[in-house]
Amino acid sequence: MILSLVFNQKGRLFPYNIWFNVVFVSESITKYKNEVVNGEKIIDLNSYAHWVPNDLVKFLHEHEKAFDKLKEVAEDPRNESYPLNKVHLLPPIKRPDKILGIGLNYVDYCDENKLSYPKEPIVFSKFASTIIGPYDKIKYPTCSKAVDWEVELVVIMGKVARNVKAEEAFNYVFGYTATQDLTAKDWMTRNGGQFLLCKNMDHFCPLGPYIVTKDELSDPHNVNIRTWVNGDLKQNGNTRNLIFKIDKLIEHLSSVMTLLPGDIICTGTPAGVGSTRNPPEFLKPGDVLETEVEGVGRLKNVVIDSY
C-alpha cells in the first residue's frame, strides 16, 4: 500500500509523485521505501535523499524546501527506478490531526432529500482509524445493514490556520485528494442520532489515490465527482454545487479551531447516495466501489464480508 503525495513540475508531461512507506511487491520481495515517481517509474529516495521525512505531516512543515530538492532527485539519471505496477498504494495521509466532514453541502443533495439549505456549515468529525488506501478492501461491519456511499473532494491543509479570512484561505491549502465518506445510515438516526458512530466504523474513509497540489487543480469549484457501484454510475456531481465553498469552509472552521498542516476537510457529497433511492440501495459484500474526483484520481475498493 502507498502513502502518497503528487506534484507536477510545470512544463513537464508527467507528474512527480512522492510516496512514503511504499510497499513493493516483486516476486518474493517485499520492502518499505520512500519514493518519488517520475512518469510511471518509481525512484528510490532512500539512496539519494535521506533527509525526506517518513510522514506526510512532517513533510508539509517544510515542503517548499523539500520540493526543490526532490525535483533534483527526480531528474537525476543515475537514480534506480521501479515499475509503478510493482507497488500497492497506502492512503496519501495516514494520521492527520483532524478529519473534518461537512454535511448537507451540495445544492442537489439537499434538493434530492427535500432539505433546506443550511445557513452555516454542518460539521462532524471522523477518526484517523477509519482511513484506508485507494485500493484496499472495505470490511463490512457486522453492526450495520445500511452502509452508504458518499464521494467527496478533500482539502489538505498546508499551514497552521487560525481566524483566516475567506480571501486568504487558499494560501493555507496544500492540495486535494478524494474520499468516500462511508456512512452507516441505520445508525444515523439510532437512539436519537448517532452521527459520530455512523461515520466512524472501521474502513469508512477510503482515501487517495494521491494528493494533488493546489496549483494542479486550477478551479476546485468546478470539478466533476462520481461514484460507481459494480460499474453502475450512482453519483455524478460537480463541486460548482457546493453550498459553502472551500474558502468559506476554511474561514468558518478556523474561526473556532486551529487547523494544522495535514488536517483534512471533506467538503460534502452530491446527490445520488443509496439511501435516497426508491427502493434504497446500500453496499454489500462483493460490491466494487469506484470513486473519482476529476483532476485528482480514481479509487477502487472491494467490499468484503463482515468482520
281-301 mean pLDDT: 96
- pTM for the model stands at 0.85
Angle at 177 between CA 8 and CA 95, to 5 degrees: 110
CA pair distance 95, 301, nearest whole angstrom: 20
Whether the predicted pLDDT of 16 surpasses 50: no
pLDDT value at position 74?
64
**Residue 182 cell numbers, joined:** 462511508
> With bands split at pLDDT 50, 70 and 90, how would you rate the model's confidence at 38?
very low
> With bands split at pLDDT 50, 70 and 90, how would you rate the model's confidence at 41?
low
CA pair distance 177, 219, nearest whole angstrom: 14
> Could you give phi then psi for residue 123, rounded to 5 degrees?
-115, 135
Whether the predicted pLDDT of 37 surpasses 50: no
Domains and CATH numbers, the chain: 3-88 (no CATH), 99-304 (3.90.850.10)
Whether the predicted pLDDT of 205 surpasses 60: yes
Range with the largest mean pLDDT of 187-191, 289-293, 303-307: 289-293
What residues have CB less than 8 Å from 76, skipping those under 6 apart?
Answer: 48
Cα–Cα nearest to 175, from 1, 293, 20, 85: 293
139-160 mean pLDDT: 96
The partner residues of 8 in beta bridges, in order of sequence, read 15
pLDDT value at position 95?
87
Decide: helix, strand or coil at residue 17: strand
pLDDT value at position 52?
64
pLDDT value at position 201?
96
**The 3-state secondary structure of 193-223, one letter per residue:** CCHHHHHCCCCCEEEEEEEEEHHHCCCCCCC
Radius of gyration of the chain from Cα atoms? 19
Query: Which secondary-structure segment (H or E) carries 31?
Result: strand 29-38
Residues in the chain: 307
